[in-house]
């Protein structure tokens, strides 16, 4: 789902963490490493355009779940705890090799839930905490979701309902049954994981938590986003952008400019004019992408 989930034009990433982590454009002198968790059905390539827009200050390291892209031959996972356990272990192991490097977690939709749960798992295991957690287009874990279950629907009904709710499967995939057939197993597995997820009541995190959302998102209202304030004792902020559930595609320039400003402020050695140029650079790239 989403505009950039399935594109193949990208530089070859450096794969670490036992195939779980894709360093999309390694930056040895980056001020911060950003681990990005994709939405349901998507691969690490959903974030392939981000490194060029964020510049040298932030290294983008995307999570690659089984059952897609270079892990297509692996069975997809159908439970959030299994995804979280493996991703948290990969991140903790990798960051142990870089003990002085700060990091942050970002996730969109399902990825937002995964990022939050990974932050909790790192805390429970006594690992370093992220400098910042950013959750996008996902209701807080303890906020009820009254939507009807769809993971057991037949394929045609499943695809139709995914499109009705999210509008996220590109038309070029819907038009090719063979390509859609490759997507459906991991998409159904991800939806199964979401619909069978049972949140736990735990002490809140301590790191800063920022929540993004779309003003016209029919699935996650601003009031749902605001409930994330209860999941941290640290600073909390919320920003709502124009657009629906996949506002992230159309508003990428604004999102990445905001993200950069939060993660690498000027006192970290990142020049103000370099950070401000993110917005202009991202807009230019969008015009040609």
> Mean pLDDT across the stretch 205-232?
96
Residue 187 lies in a domain: yes
pLDDT in tens, 115-155: 999 999 999 999 999 999 999 999 999 998 888 999 999 99
- pLDDT higher than 90, residue 64: yes
Mean pLDDT of 229-242: 98
> Does residue 1 belong to any structural domain of this protein?
no
Whole-model pTM: value is 0.88
Smallest CA-to-CA distance from 91 within 56, 66, 127, 116 is with: 127
With bands split at pLDDT 50, 70 and 90, how would you rate the model's confidence at 236?
A: very high
Count the neighbouring beta carbons within 10 Å of the beta carbon of residue 222. Answer: 13
The residue annotated as part of the active site, out of 109, 260, 277, 289, is: 109
Looking at residue 151, the DSSP 8-state letter turns out to be T
When mean pLDDT is compared across 17-31, 71-85, 162-176, the lowest value belongs to 162-176
Lowest mean pLDDT of 38-47, 55-64, 271-280, name the range.
271-280
Position 5 in a domain: no
- Provide the pLDDT for residue 167: 81
pLDDT at 51: 96
Sheet holding 58-63, edge to edge: 14-16, 21-23, 58-63, 32-37, 103-108, 132-136, 209-214, 236-241
The CATH number assigned to the domain holding 135 equals 3.40.50.1820
Please say if the pLDDT value at position 7 is more than 50.
Answer: no
Q: Looking at the predicted structure, is the pLDDT value of residue 281 above 90? A: no
Reported confidence tier of residue 275, pLDDT bands at 50, 70, 90: very low
Q: Which two tokens stand for residue 84?
A: 């979280």
Dump pLDDT digits (tens) for 252-274. 999 999 999 999 985 444 444 44
Confidence check: pLDDT of 278 > 50: no
Q: Does a structural domain hold residue 6? A: no
Q: Report CA dihedral (61, 166, 169, 117) to the nearest 10 degrees.
A: 30
What mean pLDDT, rounded, does the chain reach? 89
In tens, the pLDDT along 9-37 reads: 445 789 998 899 999 999 988 999 999 99
For the chain, give the percent of residues with pLDDT over 90. 78
> What does the alpha-carbon distance between residue 117 and residue 111 come to, in Å, rounded to a whole number?
10
Number of domains forming the structure of the chain: 1
Rounded to the nearest 10°, the torsion over CA 115, 235, 282, 110 is 20
| Percent of the chain's residues with pLDDT above 70 | 88
> Is 105 part of any domain?
yes
Confidence at residue 12, expressed as pLDDT on a 0 to 100 scale: 77
Among 86-100, 118-132, 170-184, name the one with the lowest average pLDDT.
170-184
Question: What is the pLDDT, as a whole number, of residue 17?
Answer: 85
Report which of 67, 66, 89, 104 is spatially closest to residue 17, judged by C-alpha positions.
89
What phi-psi label fits residue 30: left (phi over 0), alpha (psi between -120 and 50 degrees) or beta? beta
> Phi, psi (5° rounding) for residue 239?
-135, 130
Its domain, for residue 231, covers 14-288
Mean pLDDT of 158-187: 91
Token pair 């490493």 in the structure block, residue: 33
State yes or no: is 11 an active-site residue.
Answer: no
On whether residue 154 sits in a domain, the answer given is yes
Asked if the model's pLDDT at residue 4 lies above 50, the reply is no
**pLDDT band at 289, cuts 50/70/90?**
very low
* Position 2 in a domain: no
Q: Would residue 9 count as lying in a domain?
A: no
């Amino acid at each position: 789902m989403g505009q950039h989930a399935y594109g193949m034009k990208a530089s070859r990433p450096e794969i670490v963490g036992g195939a779980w982590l894709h360093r999309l454009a390694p930056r040895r002198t980056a001020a911060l490493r950003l681990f990005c968790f994709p939405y349901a059905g998507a691969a690490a390539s959903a974030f392939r355009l981000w490194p060029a827009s964020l510049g040298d200050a932030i290294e983008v390291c995307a999570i690659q779940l089984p059952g897609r892209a270079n892990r297509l031959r692996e069975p997809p996972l159908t439970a959030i705890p299994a995804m979280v356990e493996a991703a948290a272990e990969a991140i903790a192991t990798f960051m142990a090799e870089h003990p002085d490097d700060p990091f942050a977690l970002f996730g969109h939709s399902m990825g937002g839930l995964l990022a939050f749960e990974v932050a909790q798992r790192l805390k429970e295991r006594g690992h370093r905490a992220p400098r910042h957690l950013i959750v996008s287009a996902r209701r807080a874990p303890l906020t009820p979701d009254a939507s009807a279950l769809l993971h057991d629907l037949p394929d045609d009904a499943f695809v139709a309902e995914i499109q009705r709710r999210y509008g996220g499967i590109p038309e070029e995939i819907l038009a090719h049954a063979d390509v859609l057939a490759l997507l459906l197993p991991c998409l159904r597995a991800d939806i199964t994981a979401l619909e069978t997820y049972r949140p736990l009541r735990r002490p809140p995190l301590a790191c800063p938590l920022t929540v993004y959302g779309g003003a016209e998102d029919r699935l996650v209202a601003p009031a749902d986003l605001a409930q994330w304030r209860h999941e941290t004792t640290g600073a909390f902020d919320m920003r709502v952008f124009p657009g629906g559930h996949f506002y992230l595609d159309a508003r990428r320039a604004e999102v990445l400019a905001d993200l950069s400003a939060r993660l690498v402020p000027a006192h970290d050695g990142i020049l103000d004019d370099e950070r401000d140029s993110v917005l202009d650079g991202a807009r230019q790239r969008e015009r040609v992408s």
